[in-house]
Amino acid sequence: MEVRIAENAGFCFGVKRAMKMAWDELENKEDDDIYSLGPLIHNKQAVDKYKEKGLVEIDSLDKIPNDSKLIIRSHGVGKNVYTDSESKNMDIIDTTCPFVKKIHDIVKEFSSKGYRIIVIGNANHPEIIGINGWCDNEAIVINSEEEIDNNLFDPCDKYCVVSQTTANLEFFDKIVNMLKEKINNLTVKNTICFATKERQLSAIDLANEVDCMVVIGGKHSSNTQKLVNICKGIVPTFSIETKEELDKDILDGFKIAGVTAGASTPDWIIDEVIKYLKEI
Ligand code: SF4
Parent domain of 109:
99-188
Q: Which atom of ligand 1 is nearest to the CA of 166?
A: 1
Mutate to test the pocket of ligand 1, among 12, 16, 105, 197 (most ligand atoms within 8 A of CB): 12
pLDDT classification of 32: cutoffs 50, 70, 90: confident
pLDDT on residue 151: 77
Residues 200, 242, single domain; the answer is yes
Cα radius of gyration (the chain): 20
The C-alpha angle with vertex 236 and arms to 234 and 237, in degrees rounded to 5, equals 95
Question: Are residue 107 and residue 53 in the same domain, yes or no?
Answer: no
Ligand 1 pocket check: which of 193, 198, 199, 223 to mutate, most ligand atoms within 8 Å of Cβ?
Answer: 193
The answer to whether residues 105 and 89 belong to one domain is no
CATH label of the domain that carries residue 107: 3.40.1010.20
Spacing, Cα 40 to ligand 1 middle (Å): 13
Q: Give nearest CA residue, ligand 1 atom 8.
A: 14
At 30, is the pLDDT very low, low, confident or very high (cuts 50, 70, 90)?
A: confident
Is 68 in the same domain as 87? yes
CA 279 to ligand 1 centroid distance, Å:
33
What is the reported pLDDT for 210? 98
Distance 168 CA to ligand 1 centre (A): 14
3-state helix, strand, coil in the chain (%, to 5): 45, 20, 35
What is the number of the ligand 1 atom nearest to the C-alpha of 75?
5
Q: Which residues are catalytic?
A: 127
Q: 156 and 104, same structural domain?
A: yes
* Together in a domain, 90 and 31: yes
Atom 5 (ligand 1) nearest CA = 14
Confidence of residue 13 (pLDDT cuts 50, 70, 90): very high
Residue 64 alpha carbon to ligand 1 centre in Å: 28
Query: Rounded to an integer, what is the distance from CA 271 to the centroid of its chain?
Result: 22
Q: Helices (DSSP H) in the chain: which residue ranges?
A: 13-27, 44-52, 79-87, 98-112, 126-132, 145-150, 169-182, 194-207, 222-232, 248-251, 267-279
Q: How many domains does the chain have?
A: 3
Judged by phi (left if over 0) then psi (alpha if -120 to 50, else beta), residue 214 lies in beta
What are 52-68's pLDDT values in tens digits? 999 999 999 998 989 99
19 Cα–ligand 1 center, Å: 12
Q: What is the pTM of this model?
A: 0.85
Give the closest residue to 99 by CA, choosing from 186, 174, 167, 170.
167
Co-location of 134 and 84 in the same domain = no
**Among protein residues, the one whose CA lies closest to atom 2 of ligand 1:** 193
Same domain, yes or no: 116 and 184: yes
Q: Which residues line ligand 1 (CB under 6 A)?
A: 12-15, 74, 97, 99-100, 165, 193, 195-196, 263
Ligand 1 atom closest to the CA of 97, numbered from 1: 8
87 and 22 assigned to the same domain: yes
Q: How far apart (Å, rounded) are the C-alpha atoms in residues 105 and 114?
A: 14
Query: Tens of pLDDT along 218-236?
Result: 888 888 999 999 999 999 9
Pairwise CA distance, residues 246 & 16, whole Å: 26
Query: Per-residue pLDDT tens for 104-116?
Result: 999 999 999 999 9
User: Do both 168 and 221 map to the same domain?
Assistant: no
Beta strand 140-142 with 158-163 is: unpaired
